[in-house]
Structure 1
């Protein structure tokens, strides 16, 4: 991952520029304030101010303490956890509570964010398709829509509804508060009283963080489209603000994008669009609700494609020639805030024939066959034999406490209580009287790390250096051993 600022040490002088004042006939110094007073310093998301960029101090702190550890798998590839950690560092300080941090590190939330990224990747393509169709149907050279065009739109709308159904399935697991999510349920266990006010702020904070995660994953494009659709999905159109930046869709376009299940009633009786998707599920779409839980067995190509996109780890999407924003891309193409660095990318010499990460190839929509809907309804289902479980990286309480100390550490560095430059580090190391770990401890720690990251060998090594550790089961999910 490339640095945004040159060097890891902090300047001891005030950054600024000199200019000549003709009135006083002397040089004047104009200091820079590291984007403190610039509008691009922050971005408003659902009323909360998130950092858009990082100063040199913030970048040094983030890279030292909050970047994903090298002891995790695929640390050189962009994953959902990398985007999540970046957003947790950019979010306001009022979000830093133990309950919210623990919630964001839950496997159920990881699955929901994964489904949201897949959904918005397809949703943004359809929004672009709608805008292109607007231009084609307007003006002096307007085109006439045929019945095949309308059938193609219906197929696109059903496919988007299937992705929306997958998001609703993962969201409902959190809403029910079962298993590991029981501690975040809004009803108190003994007195059965809902903590409505606290749960409302908790929900608002999660929506703001989810918008930022999806927006950064989608190469920071179409921010207002993502914000508008995210609020509509989890609430309803009654609670979407009427902002001039939001796109205005016609009734036909709304029916195309929001699906046939969408309906608006009184706000007192309104159900969120995600729950509406689960209230009326067609029989041929029922296997979608089991994606990620058990292996699909049948001849429905569409469901098999959705399952493949969902169960393949985000760091290995290039193996199935699928892209979901920046997920699966090498970190050497991006800087600290996961913004693409085009000069570093030009040396790769990618082309349309050699583009494993879909950087040259733009996102497209495959024109469906008009018989795809009929084949989807007539598909055959077989009895399942295999269950699927995902393996997650564990997050201990020590890492959560480190997040809680984010603001205190930044303040200490600004005051000068903590030094981050290399000279201060060397002075601290030389001042220590302890000899440090011996050679045997260093070697043992190294082989422990190597045995965790390497694949299990087909033979038994004499010293068992290459054996994979046992998986740990905590609650409803599997975690890698430490």
Structure 2
């Protein structure tokens, strides 16, 4: 078979489809740049068309400018929205969503398997132990929803960095309802795409349906034939103990419902990532470890969150698994640090685990957790906003260079770069900023602890 020739500047990635050419009696490759209206080119998410794939020229531009959100529609590329997607609070929500959907997809698969096992003339009989296991798994899923809801409330509260994105104007106190509606729709569409890509591009319609249900309610989820239909028992298992359907005028989203009825034993979950948990509840300690460990170190605790922390050489530009690279890595059932060979599974909870958790103890926390976050610069955000201009520039004859040519250019350069004293000064400036943020958080926690102790003693002194 004739191989398509690609020069050194083009990546080894083919975007298109193969078809049989009966005239030439051979296979014919049809690139996606010739299929502008093809189904393989776009994927529609909440009414917006995202690129599903890209041709070789687009991939070169993608690598040249490092446009992570290259697949977004061009109407999303406003400065305000791009800045919003790079705020720390928004990244926390996306992180919590990835953890939640990692567990949710496993539970949906469990529900579908149990549906097949119970159907037909050879259906299995459920025992009380099976029902207790389902209740425990449902509670675990509700706990992951609590993490998403807690982080989402930081956004809709409109405080701190989120104040400039709040829908109420500070002086006139008038809500920008229409603008906020489209802003919310765009955020949901991008969140669906991010989670779907992170989950190895599987179960797209399950992710889309659940994402819309979480942030809206079941009233606003479209009735599409691609969506799964669950029975009442399955809905009770997947949607949890706090789900309540009311009139659509007063209906609350499932995320808000999760925070209204938090059991006492689950209260420490609301402090995960803020304070170090001290207690005897193994479930909360496991959730904390799963939440605070960076994606690059998840393999050390044998946990997988989609593609987070996986080596880049195992994936192509579109973050799809490159199976030849996986085969050359010699992974096996015994050696699989990134959960590529091993299938996703649910750990069977112990009998009586929910009752045991109610007897656990929680101690006072002395440690504050703070992650390092480096905000994006104005120049980086503008590069995203000018995506279409950059694409037109390169397609009209702008120079595209690969890694080798850029290294040769840097070696040939006579520039000496910044002085040593400037490098050292910038380093100490960054370190002092990190330590200052840690001290501020620690001081605020100490002040809160002292204030709570003082108020508690004051209230007890009334009865002495």
TM normalised by structure 1 equals 0.81
Q: Which has the higher helix share?
A: 2
2:415 match: 438
Structure 2 equivalent of residue 73 of structure 1: none
Find out whether 1:256 has 2:257 as its counterpart: no
| Distance of 2:261 and 2:7 partners within structure 1 | 55
* 1:473 CA drift (Å): 8.2
d(CA) in 2 for partners of 1:299, 1:446: 49
Structure 1 alignment gaps of length 5 or more: 23-29, 68-84, 453-463
Q: What is the distance in 2 between the residues matched to 1:443 and 1:19?
A: 62
Q: Match of 2:452? A: none
**In the alignment, what sits opposite 1:271?**
252
- The corresponding residue for 2:148 is 167
SS of 1:336's partner is: coil
Q: Larger relative CO (CA 8 A, sep 6+): 1 or 2?
A: 1
Alpha-carbon deviation of 1:33? 3.8
Instruction: Evaluate the alpha carbon distance shift between residue 445 and residue 206 of structure 1 in structure 2; reply closer, same or farther with a 3 A threshold.
Output: farther
- State the shift of 1:139 in Å: 1.2
Q: For residue 380 of structure 1, what is the aligned residue in structure 2?
A: 361
1:101 aligns with 2:82: yes
1:35 CA drift (Å): 3.5
Q: Do structure 1's residue 420 and structure 2's residue 400 form an aligned pair?
A: yes
SS in 2 for 1:128: helix
Secondary structure, in 3 states, of the residue corresponding to 2:43? strand
Structure 1 residues 225 and 64: CA distance shift in structure 2, 3 A: same
Secondary structure of 1:43's counterpart equals strand
Aligned to 1:399: 380
**Does 1:188 find its partner at 2:165?**
no
2:97 matched to 1:110?
Answer: no
Contact 1:334 1:340 in 2 (8 A): yes
After superposition, residues 59-70 of structure 1 pair within 5 angstroms as 59-66=59-66
How far 1:56 moved relative to its partner?
A: 1.6
* C-alpha displacement of 1:470: 3.8
Number of residues paired by the alignment?
423
Runs of 4+ residues deviating >4 angstroms: 15-22, 442-449, 472-478
What's the Cα RMSD here?
Answer: 3.2
Contact 2:146 2:259 in 1 (8 A): yes
Residues 75-117 of structure 1, C-alpha deviations (whole Å, 9 max, x = no match): xxxxxxxxxx2xx210100000011000000010111000000
Contact kept? 2:206, 2:227, Cα under 8 Å: yes
Question: Are the aligned partners of 2:32 and 2:41 in contact in 1 as well (CA < 8 Å)?
Answer: no
User: Does 2:339 correspond to 1:362?
Assistant: no
Q: Which residue matches 2:299?
A: 318
Q: Residues 33 and 210 (structure 1 numbering): CA distance in 2 closer, same or farther, change over 3 Å? A: closer
1:41 matched residue in structure 2: 41
Instruction: Tell me the secondary structure at the aligned position of residue 136 of structure 2.
Output: helix
1:21-52 CA distances to partner (integer Å, 9 max, x unpaired)?
A: 79xxxxxxx99744323211000000000000
After superposition, the Cα gap between the structure-2 partners of 1:412 and 1:269, relative to the gap in structure 1 and judged at 3 Å, is same
Deviation at 1:244, TM superposition (A): 0.2
Q: Secondary structure at the match of 2:40?
A: helix
Q: Which SS does the other structure have where 1:89 is aligned? A: coil
1:8 is aligned to: 9
Change beyond 3 A, Cα 1:367–1:445: farther
Give the secondary structure class of the aligned counterpart of 1:391: coil
Is the 1:389–1:477 contact (alpha carbons within 8 Å) kept by the matching residues of 2? no
Query: What is the Cα deviation at residue 444 of structure 1?
Result: 4.9
Secondary structure in structure 2 of the residue aligned to 1:122: helix
1:191-340 to structure 2, matched below 5 A, reads 191-340=172-321
Q: Say if 1:183 and 1:476 are closer, same or farther in 2 by CA, change over 3 A.
A: farther
Q: Write the distance in 2 (CA, Å) between the matches of 1:103 and 1:475.
A: 22
In the alignment, is the contact (CA less than 8 A) between 1:53 and 1:337 conserved in 2? yes
Q: Is the 8 A contact 2:129 2:351 kept in 1?
A: yes
Q: Given the alignment of the two structures, is residue 153 of structure 1 paired with residue 134 of structure 2, yes or no?
A: yes
Change (3 A) 1:320 1:9: closer
SS at match of 2:44: strand
Structure 2 gaps of 5+ residues are 1-5, 25-29, 441-464
Q: Distance in 1 between matches of 2:50 and 2:33?
A: 18
After superposition, give the CA deviation of every residue in 1:384-442 in whole Å (9 maximum; x if it has no partner).
Answer: 000111112321000001111110111222232x12157xx79x979xxxx95434x27
- Asked if 2 retains the 8 angstrom alpha-carbon contact of 1:9 and 1:421, the reply is no
* Residues 19 and 31 of structure 1: CA distance in aligned 2, closer, same or farther (over 3 Å): farther
Query: Do the aligned partners of residues 183 and 127 (structure 1) sit closer, same or farther apart at CA in structure 2, a change above 3 Å counting?
Result: same
Note if contact 1:107-1:477 (Cα within 8 Å) is conserved in structure 2.
Answer: no
